[in-house]
Chain A
Amino acid sequence: KNEVEQSPQNLTAQEGEFITINCSYSVGISALHWLQQHPGGGIVSLFMLSSGKKKHGRLIATINIQEKHSSLHITASHPRDSAVYICAVWVNKLVFGAGTILRVKS
């Protein structure tokens, strides 16, 4: 079993929809990261969380340490949000989920 599991693996949404991507992990962690990978391959860090909730623009990330679960929400989705979203946890190194491929159609 992978230490970091993401769901869904693939997600297609219509422009304007509210999107949720989930991340579950099986080990105690110091921090959890959400990353975005665009089709060209470059990766950008979106959030680092150790508790609670963070918001940046239309993106919201939450974490529940007791349940070992985090969610990434995108409000009012737009085609430019199409990317791979990756969850990673810090356990003396970064351990990455396989990613969620998001496609937002106009």
Chain B
Amino acid sequence: DGGITQSPKYLFRKEGQNVTLSCEQNLNHDAMYWYRQDPGQGLRLIYYSQIVNDFQKGDIAEGYSVSREKKESFPLTVTSAQKNPTAFYLCASSGGQGWETQYFGPGTRLLVL
């Protein structure tokens, strides 16, 4: 079955720690996206990548970093510089044309200890 997987489902971060959220897709999609969801707010774009080895900052990139070394994988690192990381993080992919349907992973909930 084709789809997007994210792991872990829940992640706990200690103060000053970097943590990495995994996102993998087997849909052969070129474009991948990371969003953050906070209660009562719309999803906000953190980073996106339209092709391997290239990525761009979204609206709220500060305190986050990404890599795109393989087409299938787009991990997100939440660094210690992100002072309010508690949120629900969603990864998505699409066929390449940005306006096309995006397919979402199940999400990772990040909590701060």
Is residue A92 contacting chain B, with contact meaning CB distance below 8 A?
yes
Question: Least Cβ distance of B86 to chain A in Å?
Answer: 14
Q: Which has the most chain B C-beta neighbours within 10 Å: A30, A48, A94, A95?
A: A94
A30 touching B99 in the complex, CB below 8 Å, given contacts A43-B90, A94-B45:
yes
> A-B contact count, CB below 8 Å?
55
> Bound state CA distance, A2 and B43, in angstroms?
12
Within 8 A of B (CB), among A19-52: 30-31, 33, 35, 40-45, 48
Please, which residue of chain B has its CB at the minimum distance from the CB of A29? Answer: B99
What residues of chain A lie closer than 8 Å to B20, measured between beta carbons?
Answer: none
User: Are A33 and B90 neighbours in the complex by a CB distance under 8 Å?
Assistant: no
User: Are A42 and B98 neighbours in the complex by a CB distance under 8 Å?
Assistant: no
Please, which residue of chain A has its CB at the minimum distance from the CB of B92? Answer: A43
Q: Which bracket fits the contact residues of A?
A: 20 to 34
> Bound state CA distance, A90 and B94, in angstroms?
13
Is residue A59 contacting chain B, with contact meaning CB distance below 8 A?
no
Interface residue from B33, B42, B100, B101 paired with A4 (Cβ < 8 Å) = B42
User: Are B42 and A98 neighbours in the complex by a CB distance under 8 Å?
Assistant: yes
Give A50-82 as 1s and 0s: 1 = Cβ < 8 Å from B's Cβ atoms. 000000000000000000000000000000000
> Bound state CA distance, A31 and B100, in angstroms?
8
What residues of chain B lie closer than 8 Å to A45, measured between beta carbons?
Answer: 101-104
Q: Which bracket fits the contact residues of B?
A: 20 to 34
User: Are A42 and B103 neighbours in the complex by a CB distance under 8 Å?
Assistant: no
A41 touching B98 in the complex, CB below 8 Å, given contacts A96-B42, A98-B40:
no
Is residue A93 contacting chain B, with contact meaning CB distance below 8 A?
yes
Is residue A86 contacting chain B, with contact meaning CB distance below 8 A?
yes
Give B76-93 as 1s and 0s: 1 = Cβ < 8 Å from A's Cβ atoms. 000000000000101010
The chain B residues found within 8 Å of chain A, CB to CB, are: 33, 40-45, 48, 58-59, 88, 90, 92, 98-107, 109
10 other contacts beyond A40-B106, A88-B42, A90-B99, with CB at 8 A cut-off? Answer: A41-B90, A41-B107, A42-B105, A43-B107, A48-B100, A93-B45, A93-B48, A93-B58, A93-B98, A98-B41
